């Protein structure tokens, strides 16, 4: 993932750092963060909380820099923009040792905790004990209480402000031009920055591409298509078809049973082993199914989970749901930052016609809940950015089974890009950069962004095997 160019240290310093700026290796402080075994550089960049009020309150933006391994580093770093909205850059530092290790051979990696996330004044609600067993009405009230208690100008946390933050980080670290890697919502932020500061962008890598016209809560059509692929893939696999010959019907029966309110469970608490009562409502059931669809490996477990629930054995499904909570390997999304962005930029575009066209039980409850909470935030609808063409070279990556940013979203975004390559991977969900030969392709693209990437190796990424029983997936 790292391009190699032999430059003298003095030339690199002249290109990368304006007069008076310290090299990145000398900026900030040495720091050890979760997800990285080595010491990195942590830089704090003070910024206005509201750019319209530069003399008003400020925030401290956290930036993590992984300096290039080679001393003769190239002058244009790779900036990492996480997803969500609400995920912090420090939540994805684990990618430094895999997805970005090749890139880092000759380029600095700059990881930003977007304002309102991670170590950049996280905008979130406190964790609630036993949230997974709490009745839906109590969950809703807890969210409302949290919003009412947080006294922040939510309108200051949108994508436009985050893009201006990136520019301030570039200036603070002394770089001339930069490359951007964005995942999911990070692709929206990367595109916004590229349109706002076109002269400062050398190349972009967009993994799980959000189209400019995409409304984040309106994902029912894409989610339903991804679920249908699970059903059809199982039907086409002899072992899966033999194990679950009526998978669609079982899923429909379980969903209907849950919707009727007839599923009251008493299961051991995963922390204490004490018996607790859980009401499996539609939002919990469908939300868990939707979350499973993000991961290719998880989707191959879904038939087993559905079949088990159909037979009345809910333990595997509930265990998977808990795994997405406080047992998650990634840091939790900043909920209020997520709402601040979506309520200003997406919900105002969620028209009745779009709701009708995108109707799906998989996302309906979430969409309703978000729009209800948005009324409490009272954010001003964000002015749309002009959809000018992005002239910098772009590499777009899509998983064919992605339930939120499938290939059709990248194709729509590509219509506004002058030099875009689009790579798709079969049997894969949300996120490509960490799979197979992708780390090598990221570096090859950044080395020579004007050249076509040879992506034949992506076809070698195997489809995960289906889980046919409690022992786990087939070998």
Residue 107 lies in a domain: yes
Residue 7 has pLDDT above 80, yes or no: no
Q: What pLDDT is attached to residue 270?
A: 63
Judged against a pLDDT cut of 90, whether residue 21 lies above it is answered with: no
Does 277 map to a domain?
A: no
In a domain, 438, yes or no: yes
**How many CB atoms are located within 10 Å of the residue 457 CB?**
12
pLDDT at residue 129 greater than cutoff 80: no
Q: List pLDDT tens digits, range 274-292.
A: 887 888 888 889 999 999 9
Residue 238 lies in a domain: no
- On whether residue 165 sits in a domain, the answer given is yes
Task: Check residue 286 and give its pLDDT.
Answer: 93
Residue 294 maps to a domain = no
What interhelical angle do 185-196 and 159-173 show, nearest 10?
A: 70
Residue 241 has pLDDT above 90, yes or no: yes
Say which range, 42-56, 310-324, 393-407, 445-459, has the weakest mean pLDDT.
310-324
Q: Which region among 154-158, 198-202, 352-356, 394-398 has the lowest average model confidence (pLDDT)?
A: 352-356
- What does residue 172 show for φ and ψ, rounded to 5 degrees? -65, -35
Q: Is position 163 within any domain?
A: yes
pLDDT for res 324: 63
Average pLDDT of the residues of the chain = 88
11: pLDDT strictly greater than 80:
no
Domain span at residue 137 reads: 9-214+384-460
Is residue 138 very low, low, confident or very high in pLDDT (cuts 50, 70, 90)?
Answer: confident
Output the pLDDT for position 18. Answer: 36
| Residue 463, pLDDT above cutoff 80 | yes
Domain count, the chain: 1
pLDDT at 304 over 70: yes
Query: In this structure, is residue 279 part of a structural domain?
Result: no
Q: What is the CATH number of the domain that holds 100?
A: 3.40.50.1820
| pTM of the shown model | 0.90
């Amino acid at each position: 993932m790292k391009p190699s160019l032999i430059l003298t240290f003095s030339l690199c310093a002249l290109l990368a750092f304006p007069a008076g700026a310290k090299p990145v290796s000398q900026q900030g402080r040495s720091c050890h963060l979760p997800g990285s075994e080595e010491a990195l550089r942590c830089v704090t960049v003070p910024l206005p909380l509201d750019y319209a009020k530069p003399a008003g309150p400020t925030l401290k933006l956290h930036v993590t820099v992984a300096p290039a391994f080679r001393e003769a580093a190239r002058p244009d770093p790779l900036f990492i923009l996480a997803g969500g909205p609400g995920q912090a850059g420090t939540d994805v530092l684990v990618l430094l040792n895999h997805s970005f290790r090749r890139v880092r051979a000759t380029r600095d990696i700059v990881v930003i905790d977007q304002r309102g996330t991670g170590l950049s004044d996280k905008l979130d609600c406190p964790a609630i004990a036993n949230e997974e067993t709490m009745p839906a009405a109590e969950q809703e009230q807890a969210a409302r209480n949290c919003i009412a208690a947080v006294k922040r100008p939510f309108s200051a946390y949108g994508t436009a402000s985050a893009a201006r933050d990136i520019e301030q980080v570039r200036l603070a670290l002394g770089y001339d031009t930069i490359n951007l890697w964005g995942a999911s919502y990070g692709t929206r932020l990367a595109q916004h920055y590229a349109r706002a500061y076109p002269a400062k962008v050398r190349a972009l890598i967009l993994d799980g591409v959000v189209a400019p016209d995409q409304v984040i809560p309106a994902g029912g059509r894409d989610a339903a298509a991804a679920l249908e692929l699970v059903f059809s893939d199982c039907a086409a696999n002899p072992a899966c078809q033999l194990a679950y010959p009526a998978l669609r019907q079982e899923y429909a029966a379980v969903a209907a049973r849950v919707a009727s309110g007839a599923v009251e469970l008493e299961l051991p608490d995963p922390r204490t082993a004490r018996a607790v009562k859980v009401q499996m409502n539609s939002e919990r059931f469908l939300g868990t199914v939707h979350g499973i669809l993000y991961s290719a490996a998880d989707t191959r477990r879904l038939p087993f989970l559905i079949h088990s629930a159909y037979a009345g054995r809910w333990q595997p499904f509930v265990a998977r749901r808990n795994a997405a909570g406080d047992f998650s390997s990634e840091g939790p999304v900043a909920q209020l930052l997520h709402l601040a962005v979506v309520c200003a930029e997406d919900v105002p575009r969620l028209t009745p016609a779009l709701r009708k066209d995108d109707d799906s039980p998989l996302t309906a409850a979430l969409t309703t809940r978000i729009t209800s909470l948005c009324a409490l935030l009272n954010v001003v609808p964000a002015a749309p950015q002009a959809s000018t063409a992005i002239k910098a070279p772009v590499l777009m990556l899509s998983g064919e089974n992605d339930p939120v940013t499938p290939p059709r979203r990248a194709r729509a975004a590509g219509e506004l890009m002058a030099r875009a390559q689009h790579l798709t991977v079969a049997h894969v969900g949300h996120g490509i950069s960490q799979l197979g030969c992708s780390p090598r392709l990221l570096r090859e693209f950044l080395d020579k962004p004007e050249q076509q990437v040879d992506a034949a190796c992506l076809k070698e990424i195997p489809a995960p095997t289906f889980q046919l029983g409690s022992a786990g997936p087939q070998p």
